[in-house]
Amino acid sequence: MSYGFKLLDASGNTTMSTDDFGIQIVDDFTVASGNSGSRTYTELAYHNTMFATTMSDIPGTVDHKKVSSHSFLAITITTNSSNVPTVSWVPSNTEGCRIQNGGYYISAGAPQQVKPDTRIIILAG
Amino acid sequence: MSYGTMFKGKNNNVCFSENAPSIVFMGKAANTNVYGPTLNARGFTYQYRYSSGYASHIFDSTSPINNQVVAGIALAYNREIIGDGGYGGGSSYVVRNDDGKVAKYTVESYEKPIIFTRYGNPTVMGGLVVKIEDSGSNGPRGWNIWNVYVWLFYSTPGQWAAAANSLELYCFSRMDPNYTSSSTYGLVVKDAAGGTMFHSDVKPAKIQEIMQITTGTNPAVDFSSTLLDSTGTVFSSMSKPAYLSQDWGRLVQKVGSGNNGFEYHQTPFSLSYVSGDDFAANFGNATLFRLTNSTAADSFIGAPKIVFPIIDGADYD
């Protein structure tokens, strides 16, 4: 690089550089299955790029006799005139292993349904 | 900003600032070699429906689900089968064939970790993180030990240990604001409250690429993807690309139609890079679909838009 900023570790390896895309993970929170909502980030008015992504997180004990019904989210990001971003999420498709009337039973007991939470991870730069 | 420190990169994106705590590398999760039971040992009884009615079949250790033929369809491992509803006034059925075990890993992390997964053998093995919980104990750095549960996928029955060992889980967390160091050189950024937002002692989560996939109901024609670097140069230069672990949907291969139909709901083993901004989702030894190729999946159910942050695991080995 002929200009800019570069950070090296003790071994001389570049750990960060202004040549990078410079995307930071700026928030991480969990929403219950089926919920919708939004968050506004006034402190991120500087942002040039923003993304939202997700991870699954099953609440309670991992039990192999439970089946999951995963609610996938539709996430949108909007900005106001001051470039303050708002992240909104609504349930999209629900899928996984569906429990339906007359569908099946678990011989060791009644069917249990677990609905994984969704961790929403916000990236910005 | 009216005060403080901020560095921007060549794309006008912020590399770090005192406004946002760094997300830093905590370590790789260690396989505890503790695995959950397989489906065959769980005592599930499945009810299924066929053209002249419906019946049930107990899949257990004496009658494992693998190689069973139900309504003319050979069941294979790692498939979820969901039938059409509505037969006989609402009776419907669900068959889930998920021999994949859940493996338990542990990692010490300041907060609940964000995990990127590297597939060592992506065409036949994979897995996704389904749960992260506090173990209740602390590690040598004084941070919590977290239990990480991964739902394993493998195309060859019985390969759960190999699948678990083929995965590398790169774990990241918010920077410990109380972090101090005896280092006499480097860079520290603190916020107004004196909390450490960045410290050059620890490696930051360096997002190398972001792949955005816009989905649709038909993987053959509706899917599209983009990369920050649309040439794919950054992506292809990574020696160990690792994706944020996420459950992003189900690919469906439909067999039959109407009340007598079956659907194979399949969770892809992995997402693999093809070229440019193209990718492929693999299931076992078969490529379910490629954006540049034909498809083996008929439809998709899942999130309308998927964002995959990608790191190079080699940066943290």
Domain ranges of chain A: 22-124
The mean predicted confidence, pLDDT, of chain B is 72
Question: In which band, very low, low, confident or very high, does the pLDDT at B286 lie, cut at 50, 70 and 90?
Answer: low
The minimal CB distance from A64 to the residues B16, B37, B308 is found for B37
Model-level ipTM above the cut of 0.85? no
3-state class percentages of chain A: helix first, strand second, coil last, to nearest 5: 0, 55, 45
Which single residue is written with the structure tokens 């420190």? B5
| Contact list, A74 vs chain B (CB under 8 Å) | 303-305
Question: In which band, very low, low, confident or very high, does the pLDDT at B137 lie, cut at 50, 70 and 90?
Answer: very high
CB contact under 8 A, B82 and A98: yes
Q: What Cα–Cα distance (Å) separates residue B293 from each residue in B17, B92, B187, B221?
A: 43, 34, 48, 10
Q: Which of these ranges, A35-49, A84-98, B45-59, B121-135, has the smallest mean pLDDT?
A: B45-59
| Contact list, A49 vs chain B (CB under 8 Å) | 11, 13
How many DSSP H helices and E strands does chain B contain?
Answer: 2, 27
In this complex, is the C-beta atom of A87 within 8 Å of any C-beta atom belonging to chain B? Answer: no
CB contact under 8 A, A18 and B1: no
The interface residues of chain A toward chain B in range 1-60, judged by CB-CB distance below 8 A, are 4-5, 7, 9, 15-26, 28, 43-44, 46-49, 51-58
Select, from the ranges B43-47, B186-190, B232-236, B241-245, the one with the highest average predicted confidence (pLDDT). B241-245
| Contact list, A4 vs chain B (CB under 8 Å) | 9-10
| Contact list, A53 vs chain B (CB under 8 Å) | 244, 246, 306-309
Is the distance from CB of A56 to CB of A70 less than 8 angstroms? yes
Residue B97 has pLDDT above 90, yes or no: no
Average pLDDT, integer, range B158-174: 91
CB contact under 8 A, A18 and B12: no
Determine the Cα–Cα distance for residues B131 and B148; give it in Å rounded to an integer: 6
pLDDT score at B300: 75
The minimal CB distance from A123 to the residues B19, B207, B249 is found for B207
Residue B87 has pLDDT above 60, yes or no: no
CB contact under 8 A, A102 and B17: no
Minimal-distance CA residue of chain A relative to B135: A61
Residue B104 has pLDDT above 70, yes or no: yes
CB contact under 8 A, A103 and B7: no
Determine the Cα–Cα distance for residues B305 and B216; give it in Å rounded to an integer: 9
pLDDT score at A7: 73
* SS3 call for B104: strand
Q: Would you give the end-to-end CA distance of chain B in angstroms? A: 36
CB contact under 8 A, A101 and B58: no
Give B39 to chain A, closest Cα distance, Å.
8
Minimal-distance CA residue of chain B relative to A93: B302
CB contact under 8 A, A103 and B47: yes
| Contact list, B45 vs chain A (CB under 8 Å) | 104-107
pTM: 0.79
**Chain pair A-B, CB pairs under 8 angstroms:** 218
Is the distance from CB of B75 to CB of B66 less than 8 angstroms? yes
3-state class percentages of chain B: helix first, strand second, coil last, to nearest 5: 5, 50, 45
pLDDT score at A66: 43
Determine the Cα–Cα distance for residues B146 and B133; give it in Å rounded to an integer: 6
Minimal-distance CA residue of chain A relative to B24: A25
* Sites in chain A below the pLDDT cut of 70: 1-5, 18-22, 59-70, 93-115
Residue B238 has pLDDT above 90, yes or no: no
Which single residue is written with the structure tokens 């469906």? B252
Q: What is the DSSP letter of B186?
A: S
Q: Which of these ranges, B82-86, B101-105, B171-175, B224-228, has the smallest mean pLDDT?
A: B82-86
Return the structure tokens found at B35. Answer: 């695995």
Sign of CA dihedral A41, A47, A51, A57: negative
